Amino acid sequence: MADMPTKPIDKLFKPVLIACGVLLLLDLVIDRHPKVPGEALPFFYAIIAMATFVGVIFACRWLHDVLQRPTDFYGADAVDAEEYPQDGLDRVDAAPASASRRQDS
């Protein structure tokens, strides 16, 4: 598989922006049958989605600072600090495996 660009998220920006624009236009012409107070506001779902998403991320920046501790906070042998046991893993690298398959063929 070809290498991805450094910031693949940039490639998504325009398509998502266009999709958002189309959905806002549809919001003006489609009846959403609101049942809850506030839901009848234009672009209700778009506004609440953005506000919530950004709000959660900013709240979590603060929570991140307040609640974070080193991984050995509960001791060096706590689950957060320990490595997963090697005998429960099968760490196989993809590149050598595909190379050996090519050699076999």
Partner 1 sequence: MSLFAPPAIYLVAALICCFLPRRGRAVLLLAVPVAGLVSIFSYAPGVHEVVQVLGFELSFVRMDGMARTFAVIFSIAAALAALYAFHVHDRLEQIGTLVYAGSAIGAVLAGDLITLFLWWEATALASVFLMWARRTTGAMATGMRYLIIQVLSGVLLLTGLLLHYYDTGSIAFDQLGVVSPGTAFIFVAFGIKCAFPLLHNWLADAYPAGTITGTVVLSIFTTKMAVYALARGYAGTEMLIWIGSVMALSATFLAVIQNDLRRTLSYSLIGQLGFMVVGVGIGSELALNGAMAHAFCSVLYQGLLFMCMGTVLYRTGTSKASELGGLARTMPITAACCLVGAASISAVPLFSGFVSKSLTLSAAAYDGHYFAWYALLIASIGVLCHTAIRIPYTVFFGEDSGKRPAEAPVHMRAAMIVTAALCVVIGVYPAPLYALLPFEVDYSSYTVAHLLTQLQMLAFAGLSYIWLMRRGLLTADKDVMFLDTDIVYRRWLPAALPAVSSSITAVWHAFQNLCLGALSFAYQRVEKVAAPGAILAQGWSVGTMMFVVIVVMAVLLFANLL
* Contacting residues toward partner 1, per CB under 8 A: 1, 3-4, 6, 8-10, 12-13, 16-17, 19-20, 23-24, 26-27, 30-33, 35-37, 43, 45-46, 48-50, 52-54, 56-61, 63-64, 67-71, 73-74, 77-86, 88-95, 97
Smallest gap from Cβ 11 to partner 1, in A, equals 10
CB closer to partner 1, 37 vs 105: 37
Sign of torsion over alpha carbons 65, 68, 69, 71? negative
Smallest gap from Cβ 38 to partner 1, in A, equals 8
How far, in Å, CA of 90 to CA of 84, rounded?
11
Sign of torsion over alpha carbons 22, 28, 30, 31? positive
CB closer to partner 1, 57 vs 105: 57
Q: Please give the C-alpha separations between residue 20 and each of 16, 23, 25, 53, in angstroms, as whole numbers.
A: 6, 5, 9, 15
